[in-house]
Amino acid sequence: MHKKEISKAVINRLPRYYRYLGDLLEKDEVRISSKELSDKMKVTASQIRQDLNNFGGFGQQGYGYNVEYLHAEIGKILGLENKYNIIIIGAGNLGQALANYGDFERRGFVVRALFDISPELIGTMVRSAEVKPMEELEAFINDNKIDIAAITVPKASAPIIATDLVKWGIKGIWNFAPVDLNLPKEITVENVHLAESLMKLSYRLSRKKKETE
Ligand code: NAI
Protein backbone atom coordinates (compact mmCIF):
# COMPACT_ATOMS: atom_id res chain seq x y z
CA MET A 1 0.00 0.00 0.00
CA HIS A 2 1.24 3.52 -0.76
CA LYS A 3 1.19 5.55 2.42
CA LYS A 4 2.02 8.84 0.70
CA GLU A 5 -0.88 10.83 -0.68
CA ILE A 6 -0.47 10.93 -4.47
CA SER A 7 -1.38 14.23 -6.10
CA LYS A 8 -4.34 14.47 -8.44
CA ALA A 9 -2.02 15.73 -11.21
CA VAL A 10 0.05 12.54 -11.02
CA ILE A 11 -3.06 10.33 -11.02
CA ASN A 12 -4.32 12.29 -14.04
CA ARG A 13 -1.11 11.48 -15.94
CA LEU A 14 -1.08 7.76 -15.14
CA PRO A 15 -3.73 6.68 -17.68
CA ARG A 16 -1.69 8.43 -20.35
CA TYR A 17 1.50 6.59 -19.32
CA TYR A 18 -0.52 3.40 -19.34
CA ARG A 19 -1.79 4.06 -22.87
CA TYR A 20 1.66 4.89 -24.26
CA LEU A 21 3.21 1.84 -22.66
CA GLY A 22 0.35 -0.29 -24.03
CA ASP A 23 1.16 1.03 -27.54
CA LEU A 24 4.84 0.17 -27.02
CA LEU A 25 3.92 -3.33 -25.84
CA GLU A 26 1.87 -3.85 -29.00
CA LYS A 27 5.02 -3.00 -30.97
CA ASP A 28 6.97 -5.57 -28.91
CA GLU A 29 9.20 -2.90 -27.37
CA VAL A 30 10.98 -4.37 -24.35
CA ARG A 31 12.44 -1.29 -22.71
CA ILE A 32 12.38 2.47 -22.96
CA SER A 33 14.48 5.21 -21.41
CA SER A 34 12.78 8.06 -19.58
CA LYS A 35 14.25 10.34 -22.29
CA GLU A 36 12.52 8.37 -25.09
CA LEU A 37 9.28 8.16 -23.13
CA SER A 38 9.53 11.88 -22.50
CA ASP A 39 10.04 12.65 -26.22
CA LYS A 40 7.04 10.53 -27.13
CA MET A 41 4.77 11.91 -24.45
CA LYS A 42 5.99 15.51 -24.46
CA VAL A 43 6.45 15.37 -20.68
CA THR A 44 9.92 16.13 -19.31
CA ALA A 45 12.08 13.14 -18.38
CA SER A 46 12.41 14.49 -14.87
CA GLN A 47 8.64 14.77 -14.58
CA ILE A 48 8.32 11.12 -15.57
CA ARG A 49 10.96 10.07 -13.03
CA GLN A 50 9.32 12.19 -10.36
CA ASP A 51 5.87 10.76 -11.14
CA LEU A 52 7.03 7.18 -11.04
CA ASN A 53 9.13 7.74 -7.92
CA ASN A 54 5.81 8.23 -6.11
CA PHE A 55 5.29 4.52 -6.59
CA GLY A 56 8.80 3.32 -5.92
CA GLY A 57 10.58 4.18 -9.16
CA PHE A 58 10.42 1.11 -11.42
CA GLY A 59 13.38 2.35 -13.50
CA GLN A 60 17.01 1.32 -13.42
CA GLN A 61 19.90 3.71 -13.96
CA GLY A 62 21.31 3.12 -17.46
CA TYR A 63 18.58 0.68 -18.43
CA GLY A 64 15.43 2.75 -18.42
CA TYR A 65 12.09 1.11 -17.90
CA ASN A 66 10.96 -2.40 -18.67
CA VAL A 67 7.85 -1.69 -20.74
CA GLU A 68 5.84 -4.79 -19.79
CA TYR A 69 6.64 -4.45 -16.09
CA LEU A 70 5.92 -0.72 -15.95
CA HIS A 71 2.66 -1.18 -17.90
CA ALA A 72 1.56 -3.91 -15.48
CA GLU A 73 2.58 -1.89 -12.40
CA ILE A 74 0.77 1.25 -13.54
CA GLY A 75 -2.24 -0.94 -14.35
CA LYS A 76 -2.14 -2.21 -10.75
CA ILE A 77 -1.89 1.32 -9.35
CA LEU A 78 -4.93 2.25 -11.44
CA GLY A 79 -6.75 -0.83 -10.13
CA LEU A 80 -7.03 -2.28 -13.64
CA GLU A 81 -6.27 -5.82 -12.55
CA ASN A 82 -9.81 -5.84 -11.17
CA LYS A 83 -12.93 -6.42 -13.21
CA TYR A 84 -15.68 -3.86 -12.79
CA ASN A 85 -19.38 -4.44 -13.34
CA ILE A 86 -21.10 -1.35 -14.69
CA ILE A 87 -24.72 -0.34 -15.10
CA ILE A 88 -25.84 2.64 -17.16
CA ILE A 89 -28.81 4.72 -16.03
CA GLY A 90 -30.37 6.40 -19.05
CA ALA A 91 -30.26 4.47 -22.32
CA GLY A 92 -30.51 7.46 -24.65
CA ASN A 93 -27.87 8.71 -27.09
CA LEU A 94 -25.02 8.87 -24.62
CA GLY A 95 -25.93 5.78 -22.57
CA GLN A 96 -26.12 3.70 -25.74
CA ALA A 97 -22.87 5.14 -27.08
CA LEU A 98 -21.08 4.10 -23.86
CA ALA A 99 -22.63 0.63 -23.93
CA ASN A 100 -21.67 0.22 -27.58
CA TYR A 101 -18.01 1.01 -26.99
CA GLY A 102 -16.36 -2.41 -26.77
CA ASP A 103 -12.98 -1.16 -25.63
CA PHE A 104 -14.15 -0.57 -22.04
CA GLU A 105 -14.75 -4.30 -21.73
CA ARG A 106 -11.25 -5.06 -22.97
CA ARG A 107 -9.99 -2.97 -20.03
CA GLY A 108 -12.14 -4.87 -17.55
CA PHE A 109 -15.20 -2.60 -17.38
CA VAL A 110 -18.19 -4.76 -18.26
CA VAL A 111 -21.61 -3.19 -18.91
CA ARG A 112 -24.12 -5.54 -17.28
CA ALA A 113 -27.34 -3.65 -18.05
CA LEU A 114 -28.86 -0.29 -18.90
CA PHE A 115 -31.91 1.17 -17.15
CA ASP A 116 -34.47 3.61 -18.51
CA ILE A 117 -38.05 4.79 -18.09
CA SER A 118 -38.90 4.78 -21.79
CA PRO A 119 -41.23 1.88 -22.76
CA GLU A 120 -39.76 1.95 -26.30
CA LEU A 121 -36.28 1.24 -25.00
CA ILE A 122 -37.07 -1.29 -22.26
CA GLY A 123 -36.35 -4.82 -23.46
CA THR A 124 -34.05 -3.73 -26.29
CA MET A 125 -30.40 -4.81 -26.39
CA VAL A 126 -27.38 -2.54 -26.69
CA ARG A 127 -24.45 -4.74 -27.64
CA SER A 128 -24.82 -7.56 -25.12
CA ALA A 129 -26.63 -5.58 -22.41
CA GLU A 130 -30.39 -5.31 -21.97
CA VAL A 131 -32.28 -2.10 -21.25
CA LYS A 132 -34.29 -2.79 -18.11
CA PRO A 133 -37.05 -0.82 -16.36
CA MET A 134 -36.08 1.40 -13.41
CA GLU A 135 -38.36 -0.69 -11.17
CA GLU A 136 -35.79 -3.50 -11.44
CA LEU A 137 -32.79 -1.35 -10.55
CA GLU A 138 -32.61 -2.02 -6.81
CA ALA A 139 -32.99 -5.80 -7.16
CA PHE A 140 -30.44 -5.87 -10.00
CA ILE A 141 -27.87 -4.08 -7.84
CA ASN A 142 -28.60 -6.50 -4.99
CA ASP A 143 -28.31 -9.61 -7.15
CA ASN A 144 -25.27 -8.61 -9.22
CA LYS A 145 -22.02 -7.27 -7.89
CA ILE A 146 -22.24 -3.80 -9.44
CA ASP A 147 -19.23 -1.56 -8.84
CA ILE A 148 -19.96 1.48 -10.99
CA ALA A 149 -23.11 3.24 -12.19
CA ALA A 150 -22.90 5.62 -15.12
CA ILE A 151 -25.48 8.40 -15.01
CA THR A 152 -26.65 9.50 -18.44
CA VAL A 153 -30.13 10.84 -17.68
CA PRO A 154 -31.30 14.47 -17.98
CA LYS A 155 -29.78 16.62 -15.26
CA ALA A 156 -33.05 17.15 -13.35
CA SER A 157 -33.27 13.41 -12.59
CA ALA A 158 -29.59 12.80 -11.88
CA PRO A 159 -29.35 13.84 -8.18
CA ILE A 160 -32.36 11.71 -7.11
CA ILE A 161 -31.09 8.71 -9.06
CA ALA A 162 -27.59 9.13 -7.60
CA THR A 163 -29.01 9.19 -4.05
CA ASP A 164 -30.97 5.98 -4.71
CA LEU A 165 -27.92 4.29 -6.22
CA VAL A 166 -25.88 5.09 -3.13
CA LYS A 167 -28.71 3.89 -0.86
CA TRP A 168 -28.69 0.58 -2.75
CA GLY A 169 -24.96 0.10 -2.32
CA ILE A 170 -23.24 1.66 -5.34
CA LYS A 171 -19.80 3.03 -4.42
CA GLY A 172 -18.59 4.41 -7.76
CA ILE A 173 -20.49 6.92 -9.90
CA TRP A 174 -19.46 7.93 -13.41
CA ASN A 175 -21.48 11.09 -13.81
CA PHE A 176 -22.17 12.56 -17.23
CA ALA A 177 -25.16 14.70 -16.25
CA PRO A 178 -24.17 18.39 -16.15
CA VAL A 179 -24.84 18.76 -12.43
CA ASP A 180 -22.75 18.46 -9.25
CA LEU A 181 -23.86 15.52 -7.15
CA ASN A 182 -23.76 15.98 -3.40
CA LEU A 183 -22.95 12.51 -2.18
CA PRO A 184 -21.26 11.17 0.96
CA LYS A 185 -17.48 11.42 0.74
CA GLU A 186 -16.99 7.64 0.80
CA ILE A 187 -18.66 7.54 -2.62
CA THR A 188 -16.24 7.97 -5.49
CA VAL A 189 -17.58 10.24 -8.21
CA GLU A 190 -15.87 10.85 -11.53
CA ASN A 191 -17.48 13.64 -13.52
CA VAL A 192 -17.11 13.70 -17.28
CA HIS A 193 -18.19 16.92 -18.91
CA LEU A 194 -17.35 17.19 -22.59
CA ALA A 195 -18.86 20.69 -22.71
CA GLU A 196 -16.28 21.88 -20.17
CA SER A 197 -13.52 20.39 -22.27
CA LEU A 198 -14.91 22.25 -25.29
CA MET A 199 -14.95 25.50 -23.28
CA LYS A 200 -11.26 24.99 -22.46
CA LEU A 201 -10.57 24.43 -26.15
CA SER A 202 -12.52 27.57 -26.95
CA TYR A 203 -10.48 29.54 -24.38
CA ARG A 204 -7.18 28.34 -25.85
CA LEU A 205 -8.33 29.04 -29.42
CA SER A 206 -9.47 32.54 -28.56
CA ARG A 207 -6.24 33.25 -26.66
CA LYS A 208 -4.14 32.18 -29.65
CA LYS A 209 -6.30 34.30 -31.93
CA LYS A 210 -5.70 37.34 -29.70
CA GLU A 211 -1.94 36.66 -29.72
CA THR A 212 -1.83 36.81 -33.51
CA GLU A 213 -4.04 39.89 -33.80
P1 NAI B 1 -31.20 11.41 -24.32
O2 NAI B 1 -32.46 12.19 -24.19
O3 NAI B 1 -30.85 10.78 -25.63
O4 NAI B 1 -31.21 10.21 -23.21
C5 NAI B 1 -31.67 10.35 -21.91
C6 NAI B 1 -32.34 9.04 -21.50
O7 NAI B 1 -32.66 9.10 -20.12
C8 NAI B 1 -33.65 8.78 -22.25
O9 NAI B 1 -33.62 7.48 -22.85
C10 NAI B 1 -34.72 8.90 -21.18
O11 NAI B 1 -35.81 8.03 -21.41
C12 NAI B 1 -33.94 8.52 -19.94
N13 NAI B 1 -34.50 9.04 -18.71
C14 NAI B 1 -35.07 10.26 -18.48
N15 NAI B 1 -35.43 10.36 -17.19
C16 NAI B 1 -35.10 9.20 -16.59
C17 NAI B 1 -35.23 8.71 -15.27
N18 NAI B 1 -35.76 9.44 -14.30
N19 NAI B 1 -34.77 7.46 -15.02
C20 NAI B 1 -34.23 6.71 -15.99
N21 NAI B 1 -34.09 7.11 -17.27
C22 NAI B 1 -34.51 8.36 -17.56
O23 NAI B 1 -30.05 12.35 -23.81
P24 NAI B 1 -28.46 12.21 -24.04
O25 NAI B 1 -28.06 13.03 -25.18
O26 NAI B 1 -28.10 10.77 -24.02
O27 NAI B 1 -27.91 12.92 -22.72
C28 NAI B 1 -28.09 12.29 -21.46
C29 NAI B 1 -27.45 13.10 -20.36
O30 NAI B 1 -26.07 13.18 -20.58
C31 NAI B 1 -27.93 14.54 -20.25
O32 NAI B 1 -27.93 14.92 -18.88
C33 NAI B 1 -26.90 15.32 -21.03
O34 NAI B 1 -26.82 16.66 -20.60
C35 NAI B 1 -25.67 14.55 -20.67
N36 NAI B 1 -24.58 14.64 -21.62
C37 NAI B 1 -23.36 14.80 -21.10
C38 NAI B 1 -22.26 14.82 -21.88
C39 NAI B 1 -20.95 14.95 -21.18
O40 NAI B 1 -19.95 15.20 -21.80
N41 NAI B 1 -20.91 14.80 -19.90
C42 NAI B 1 -22.31 14.74 -23.33
C43 NAI B 1 -23.67 14.51 -23.80
C44 NAI B 1 -24.75 14.49 -22.96
| Residues 146-194 pLDDT 10s | 999 999 999 999 999 999 999 999 999 999 999 999 999 999 999 999 9
Rounded distance from Cα 93 to ligand 1 centre (Å): 7
**Coil/strand/helix, residue 148:** strand
For the stretch 83-139, pLDDT in tens is 999 999 999 999 999 999 988 998 899 999 999 999 999 999 999 999 999 999 999
Rounded distance from Cα 192 to ligand 1 centre (Å): 13
Rounded distance from Cα 165 to ligand 1 centre (Å): 16
Best probe residue, ligand 1, of 153, 157, 181 (max atoms within 8 Å of C-beta): 153
Taking the C-alpha atoms of residue 110 and residue 86, their distance in angstroms, rounded to an integer, is 6
* Four-CA torsion 93, 98, 102, 107, nearest 10 degrees: 170
Q: What is the pTM of this model?
A: 0.87
- Ligand 1 neighbour 152 (Cβ under 6 A): yes
Residue 17 · residue 41 · CB < 8 Å: yes
For the stretch 25-72, pLDDT in tens is 999 998 888 888 889 888 898 888 888 888 776 766 667 888 999 999
For the domain that residue 96 is a member of, what is the CATH number? Answer: 3.40.50.720
Residue 44 covered by a domain: yes
**Where is the domain boundary, 77, 105, 138?**
77
Residue 103 · residue 113 · CB < 8 Å: no
pLDDT at 61: 67
Residue-range definition of the domain harbouring residue 25:
8-77
Looking at the structure, tell me whether residues 146 and 172 fall in a common domain. Answer: yes
